[in-house]
């Protein structure tokens, strides 16, 4: 891979008595797809929220495209090309599919002329077709759609944005097998094009090994494993996780 588009150095984050991230170091190359694996509560979402400007770290540094950057907000991160599909999707239930697709653009906050609305519908349809997910009625509030369809809209919105650093927090979480495969196809296409860099949180080792260039494992708020996917296996990843589980049980037993 060429230069890093993102570097996280010694990042720590606490929530009261809970240390979510101890001392995290991570890097993402241009055009690279990095899989981030880790148990529940390991710190994956906190890390992604820090990289997307949603939360601030207590300490540590973030470099975006070579420049040390203190992200002030999600909008600030977006202005630098970083966009995230959060686990809870960040769709607005009462708004319809088209309005959600354009949520972060100012049209939604003003009356929309008929022609602009028509263009927005066309672009929404195009973005969803690109993902390959069928959402027949674009005018319904997204609250009435399935979890998989909602997830697809959130992913389509990010892929169709100007972002060149895309963070996917468990993009397959609410999906059936067919919809999940479509999202993995989109990741595969973006990976082949090499224009965007992606961090994908996932629980399925096989998905990560097949869809990513490199894999990081986060355990108890620290990156404990970093290898190209071609140099590791489900067995090796399993072994590390089981070993950590044994250690945690031994610690708990005193």
Binds ligand ATP (CB under 6 A): choice among 15, 113, 144, 146 = 15
Q: Does 245 bind ligand ATP (CB under 6 A)?
A: no
Count of CB atoms situated within 10 Å of the CB of 182 = 18
Q: Does 43 bind ligand ATP (CB under 6 A)?
A: yes
| Number of residues in contact with ligand ATP under rule CB under 6 A | 11
Give 189's DSSP letter.
Answer: H
What would you report as the CA-atom Rg of the chain, rounded to the nearest whole angstrom?
19
Binds ligand ATP (CB under 6 A): choice among 6, 11, 33, 38 = 38
Residue 160 · residue 78 · CB < 8 Å: no
Binds ligand ATP (CB under 6 A): choice among 27, 44, 157, 214 = 44
The least distance separating ligand ATP from the CB of residue 66, rounded to whole angstroms, comes to 27
Q: Which two tokens stand for residue 113?
A: 């002329």
Nearer Cβ to ligand ATP, position 96 or 170?
170
Count of CB atoms situated within 10 Å of the CB of 234 = 12
Give 17's DSSP letter.
Answer: T
Q: Which stretch binds ligand ATP (CB under 6 A): 14-22, 24-32, 91-99, 179-187?
A: 14-22
Binds ligand ATP (CB under 6 A): choice among 5, 8, 11, 20 = 20
| Dihedral of alpha carbons 106, 171, 174, 132, sign | positive
Question: Phi and psi of 59, rounded to 5°?
Answer: -155, 170
- Residues of this chain that bind ligand ATP (CB under 6 A): 15, 18, 20, 38, 40-46
């Amino acid at each position: 891979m060429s230069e890093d588009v993102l570097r996280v150095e010694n990042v720590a984050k606490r929530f009261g008595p809970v240390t979510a991230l101890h001392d995290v170091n991570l890097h993402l190359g241009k055009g690279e797809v990095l899989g981030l694996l880790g148990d529940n509560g390991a710190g994956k979402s906190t890390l992604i929220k820090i990289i997307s400007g949603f939360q601030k770290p207590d300490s540590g540094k973030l470099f975006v495209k070579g420049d040390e950057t203190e992200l002030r907000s999600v909008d600030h991160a977006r202005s630098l090309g970083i966009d995230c599909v959060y686990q809870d999707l960040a769709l607005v239930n009462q708004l319809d599919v088209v309005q959600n697709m354009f949520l972060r653009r100012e049209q939604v906050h003003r009356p929309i002329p008929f022609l602009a609305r028509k263009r927005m519908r066309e672009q929404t349809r195009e973005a969803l077709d690109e993902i390959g997910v069928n959402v027949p009625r674009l005018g319904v509030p997204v609250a009435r759609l399935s979890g998989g369809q909602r997830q697809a809209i959130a992913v389509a919105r990010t892929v169709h944005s100007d972002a060149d650093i895309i963070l996917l927090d468990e993009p397959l979480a609410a999906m059936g097998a067919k919809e999940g495969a479509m999202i993995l196809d989109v990741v595969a296409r973006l990976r082949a094009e090499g224009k965007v860099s992606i961090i994908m949180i996932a629980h399925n080792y096989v998905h990560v090994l097949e869809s990513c260039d490199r894999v990081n494992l986060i355990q108890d708020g620290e990156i404990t494993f970093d290898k190209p996917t071609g140099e590791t296996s489900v067995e090796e990843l399993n072994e590390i996780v089981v070993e950590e589980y044994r250690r945690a049980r031994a610690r708990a037993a005193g």
